[in-house]
Amino acid sequence: MVKILIIEDDAAFNSLLKTWLTKAGYRAESVLSAGEAMKAVQAGVYDIILSDLRLPDTEGLTLLKWIRETSPDSAVFIMTGYADIHTAVQAIRLGAADYLEKPVDPVLLREKIDEIIKKKDRPHERIPFIKGESAASEKLYEHMMLVAPTFLSVLISGASGTGKEYVANHIHQNSLRREEPFVALDCGAIPRDLAGSELFGHIKGSFTGAIGDKKGAFEMAHGGTLFLDEVGNLSTDIQMQLLRALQEGVIKPVGSSKFIEVNIRIITATNVDLKEMIEQGKFREDLYHRINEFQLNMPLLKDRGQDILLFAEHFLEYANRQMNKKIAGFAPEAQELLKVYEWRGNLRELLNVVKRTVLLSEGPLVQAVDLPEEIRNIPLKGTAPDIALAEAAGQDAQTLKEQHERQMITQALARTKNNRTRAARLLGIDRKTLYNKMKLYNME
């Protein structure tokens, strides 16, 4: 399903766009500001992004530049109520897929979205599951392979971005149902009034916008595996219908009087504590026990230390193919920064960072200065990755830190052809701080 992000500060128009796109069969999410949009893009991958030109916290063109660097695979449409051919040309030059005048015609918008999807040179390439070599990864993989050939329902718990859907798909690929469909549905992205239709389907005319019959996820997954991500977001009435479908093996499409037999294996995922939701009366305990015949707990990326570079190299190969580049790997200093960064967005954040650096890197290796500011700032703030190790070994940590900073400054100046303003920006410090450090290290 095509995933779309709407960035529009007019709440009414924002809601209208989301309704249009959802009813047209897209997976639509919406935010009201550039700040919220940046968080959303860092946390997930969108096929299409619709952005207003004038936002309360920044200009749409400024956000467009950031999106093109952060999520190069996303096609961006700029929307504006101000017909301005100069801005239109500027937006296209900055990488926008198209420029739309308000009020946006929903038929035209759908045509343009479909054109973008059809123009893609190749179908979306799915990154294969990566086992990992850390103790946490080994334990996870052992349990996955243990439960895969069984008929048990599986509940995967873990933070966002830890790869829950990849685990679910890998379980399916190693199950007795591997030749049948694997259908994934993000319950957190479904509007509440459409959850029943997405799960069980609907018949033509059953509600406004139901212009034809539609198969739901249960029917599409018949014989195979149905993966429901963020299952805790389902309303209690849909939870009851889900429980009945799992227990009885039948569904009834919205608006229909006929039952349809379905045979699926259910795998669910959550990033919240369902037991706590049960205590709060927000999740049915009987459904919890039905979907939790076997539980897998996803480790955080920061707890899979020795896997970080393994994952980064794997994502690098993927990004090279997607962008037709030939970056050979990561320079030693870039490797150290990747290993000590917190990775609050887990594997999803790492993938986005690698794609961004591959786009910006001039090769042959990704250098420290190619990494995002929040990552490359670590050593300049006195937390160089080797300092703790140096202290443990009895080495002079301050000397090591100075050598580390000197090397990063040298790389930044080389990358910007001695443009100190740009070098300071790359390093995430102000120009005065850069001058002071250059003077300190006799680099004038």
Q: Copy the structure tokens of residue 124.
A: 């979306």
Question: Can you give the CATH number for the domain in which 384 is found?
Answer: 1.10.8.60
Distance CA 72, CA 47 (A): 10
Domain boundary among 297, 317, 335: 297
In this structure, the answer to whether residues 100 and 55 fall within a common structural domain is yes
DSSP 268-295: EEESS-HHHHHHTTSS-HHHHHHH-SEE
Q: Kindly state whether residue 411 falls inside one of the protein's structural domains.
A: yes
Residues 198 and 271 grouped into a single domain: yes
Per-residue pLDDT, 400: 62
If asked whether residues 372 and 434 sit together in one domain, one would say yes
d(CA 397, CA 387): 5
The verdict on 251 and 326 lying in the same domain is no
pTM equals 0.64
Question: Do 111 and 147 fall within a single domain?
Answer: no
Contact (CB, 8 A) for 315 and 354 = yes
- 267 and 198 fall within a common domain: yes
pLDDT value at residue 378: 61
Residue 373 token pair = 């500011």
- Are residues 216 and 198 located together in one domain of the fold? yes
Residue 430 lies in a domain: yes
Q: Dump pLDDT digits (tens) for 15-60.
A: 989 988 888 878 889 999 999 998 888 877 788 999 988 888 888 7
* 129 in any annotated domain: no
Look-up of token digits 């250098």: 367
Choose the final residue of a domain: 262, 282, 297: 297
pLDDT at residue 407 in the model: 79
Query: For position 391, what pLDDT does the model report?
Result: 46
Return phi, psi of residue 111, to 5°.
Answer: -60, -40
pLDDT at residue number 1:
65
Contact predicate 301/136, CB 8 Å: no
Residue 388: the pLDDT is 46
| Alpha helical stretches, state H, 148-284 | 164-173, 195-200, 217-220, 236-248, 274-279
Structural domain that includes position 392: 302-440
Closest CA to 253 of 239, 241, 236: 241
Task: Provide the pLDDT for residue 396.
Answer: 55
Query: Would residue 42 count as lying in a domain?
Result: yes
Euclidean distance between CA atoms 52 and 366, whole angstroms = 33
Same domain, 63 and 142: no
What's the average pLDDT block by block, 10 residues per block, for the chain (444 residues)? 88 89 86 90 85 85 84 85 66 81 83 76 63 92 96 96 93 94 87 87 83 86 95 95 96 93 97 96 97 97 91 92 88 89 91 88 86 73 45 54 77 78 74 83 81
Note whether residue 347 is domain-resident. Answer: yes
